[in-house]
């Protein structure tokens, strides 16, 4: 008889826990996997690093640099130059933030001079010339923000939100 009572109490406690979990979960407004940072969350176009024998990633249109996609690993040795889509995607996948510009580089968005070791660690703000872009864009893995100019306050918010955030990071 004691075993039957113990089983009934355990069953009731288990049911109460399930009900409580469902009530609390339905009230949770967090968006796990969502984007609370500035800019637009872009579609996931893959994150696979292709072998060195793979052909280069085809060039994207100048006005829409990629923010994700399969690519060959390609190091960046310096910034303030044009980057291939492979270099751009590798930089973003590592967690760097890229400021793409058309014309004069927005030097006020980079606190320190470009350092290849910092870029390899995914901790750099990289200035990338993009002829035909028609403005200024901040890029991170699967995130894009069109900037009104180099003094746009959203640029620093974007950098703070996404620097160090590659595809395996929680943002």
Q: Tell me what the mean pLDDT of segment 113-121 comes to.
A: 96
Token readout for 114 is: 């470009």
Q: Where are the domains of the chain?
A: 1-30, 40-162
Q: Say if residues 105 and 133 touch (Cβ distance below 8 Å).
A: no
For residues 87 and 101, give the distance between their C-alpha atoms in angstroms, rounded to a whole number: 16
* Averaged confidence pLDDT in the chain: 86
For residues 60 and 58, give the distance between their C-alpha atoms in angstroms, rounded to a whole number: 6
Q: What is the reported pLDDT for 6? A: 60
For residues 88 and 67, give the distance between their C-alpha atoms in angstroms, rounded to a whole number: 8
Percentage of the residues of the chain whose pLDDT score is greater than 90: 73
- Residue 128's SS3 state is strand
* pLDDT of 23 higher than 50: no
Percentage of the residues of the chain whose pLDDT score is greater than 70: 80
For residues 7 and 13, give the distance between their C-alpha atoms in angstroms, rounded to a whole number: 10
User: Cβ of 152: how many Cβ atoms within 10 Å?
Assistant: 18
pTM of the model: 0.78
Q: Tell me what the mean pLDDT of segment 132-158 comes to.
A: 96
Q: pLDDT band at 9, cuts 50/70/90? A: confident
Token readout for 16 is: 């109460």
Q: What is the reported pLDDT for 26? A: 45
Q: pLDDT band at 89, cuts 50/70/90? A: very high
């Amino acid at each position: 008889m004691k075993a039957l009572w113990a089983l009934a109490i355990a069953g009731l406690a288990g049911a109460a826990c399930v009900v409580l979990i469902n009530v609390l979960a339905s009230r949770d407004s967090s968006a796990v996997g969502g984007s609370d940072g500035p800019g637009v969350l872009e579609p996931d176009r893959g994150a696979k690093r292709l072998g060195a024998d793979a052909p280069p990633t085809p060039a994207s249109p100048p006005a829409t640099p990629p923010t994700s996609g399969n690519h060959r690993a390609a190091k960046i040795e310096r910034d303030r130059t044009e980057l291939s889509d492979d270099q751009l995607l590798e930089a973003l996948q590592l967690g760097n933030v890229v400021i793409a510009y058309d014309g004069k580089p927005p030097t006020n968005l980079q606190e320190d001079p470009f350092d290849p070791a910092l870029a390899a660690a995914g901790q750099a703000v990289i200035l990338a010339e993009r002829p035909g872009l028609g403005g200024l864009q901040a890029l991170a893995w699967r995130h894009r923000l069109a900037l009104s100019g180099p003094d746009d306050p959203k640029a620093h918010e974007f950098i703070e939100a996404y620097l160090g955030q590659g595809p395996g990071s929680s943002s």
